[in-house]
Amino acid sequence: MDHSANAPGLLEGSNIGSQKERVVTEEEWLQKWEVGNIGFHKEQGHPLLQKYLDVLLNGKSGLRIFFPLCGKAVEMKWLADMGHNVVGVEVSEQALKDFFSEHSLPYCEEPVPEISGGKMFQSTSGNISLYCCSIYDLSSSIVGKFDGVWDRGALVAVNPCDRQRYASLMINLMEKNSSYLLVTVSYDPNKHKGPPFYVPESEIKSLFGSCCEIQCLEKVDDFSEKHKQWGLDYFLEVLYMLKFVA
């Protein structure tokens, strides 16, 4: 059933309801990992990345791909196995260690001198580097710049009041002519407090429109029993391609 037809006005609306003031602390995210409340993790990877991988890679090899708020995303292993260099950032050390252990990948751990308390976990093969710190501690001087981004569960997890800060950082981390695949979610924000947070298309244009060409690639009905329990009538995943123009 296509729930997107139930509320067409909301899909393009810019009202994020009471979510505007919602704040989820770093401690709350760490707690989710500690107790295994990670329903956002996809064990089999995300079908939209599989479907649009060629759009992200554009036929190129050896790209630097960034995974913001990466968790233990299995797609990091996919892209590394294809010969790309993967960099992720995640506040939960447990998530990063789980990633390496679940894929039987040997790794080394070292401090990041520029970041107080920051750590970097790197596969011994050298092509997966995962930073354990706040994403806002990163800069291009620490991690360099990227040819591509897979943003699923990142922008939608950032506190709404921090979106401008997040977008500014991402823009500074992107190379010219780079590609940014962004997955947002669409639902009635007056019926669920988030996360994941509702991010309207108008806000994506406001955040990134000055330096990107923005294209909506697909809207997918992802409504499930979980969303019904949240009190929702529909839940969509919306995939955008952001192309950073030279």
* 36 carries a ligand binding annotation: yes
CATH number at residue 112: 3.40.50.150
* 37 carries a ligand binding annotation: yes
Q: Range of 73's domain?
A: 45-244
* 27 carries a ligand binding annotation: no
* 197 carries a ligand binding annotation: no
The reply to whether 29 falls in a domain is: no
Peptide bond into 200 cis (omega under 30): no
- Label residue 8 by pLDDT band (50, 70, 90): very low
The reply to whether 23 falls in a domain is: no
* 49 carries a ligand binding annotation: no
* 90 carries a ligand binding annotation: yes
Q: Measured between alpha carbons, how far apart are the two ends of the chain, in Å? A: 41
* 209 carries a ligand binding annotation: no
The reply to whether 16 falls in a domain is: no
* 214 carries a ligand binding annotation: no
* 32 carries a ligand binding annotation: yes
| pLDDT > 50? residue 155 | yes
The reply to whether 61 falls in a domain is: yes
The reply to whether 215 falls in a domain is: yes
Backbone angles phi, psi at 37, to 5 degrees: -85, 70
The reply to whether 3 falls in a domain is: no
Three-state secondary structure call for residue 54: helix
The reply to whether 37 falls in a domain is: no
Percent of the chain predicted with pLDDT > 70? 91
Query: What residues contact 195, with CB distance under 8 A and at least 6 apart?
Result: 24, 156, 157
Query: Among 30-34, 65-69, 181-185, 230-234, whose mean pLDDT is lowest?
Result: 30-34
**Angle, CA of 234, 236 and 240, to the nearest 5°:** 160
pLDDT at res. 227: 96
* 71 carries a ligand binding annotation: no
Nearest CA among 152, 110, 116 for reference residue 136: 116
Query: What residues contact 241, with CB distance under 8 A and at least 6 apart?
Result: 52, 55, 179, 180, 181, 182, 214, 215, 217
| pLDDT > 70? residue 127 | yes
Tens-place pLDDT, residues 72-116 = 999 999 999 999 999 999 999 999 999 999 999 999 999 999 999
* 33 carries a ligand binding annotation: yes
Give the Cα separation of 136 and 157 in Å (integer). 14
| pLDDT > 80? residue 9 | no
* 39 carries a ligand binding annotation: yes
* 230 carries a ligand binding annotation: no
* The token pair that represents 221 in the structure block: 């009905």
Report the relative pairing of strands 236-244 and 212-221 from DSSP bridges.
antiparallel
* 126 carries a ligand binding annotation: no
The reply to whether 30 falls in a domain is: no
pLDDT at res. 246: 63
* 78 carries a ligand binding annotation: no
Domains in the chain: how many in total? 1
Helical pair 26-35 and 93-102, crossing angle rounded to 10 deg:
40
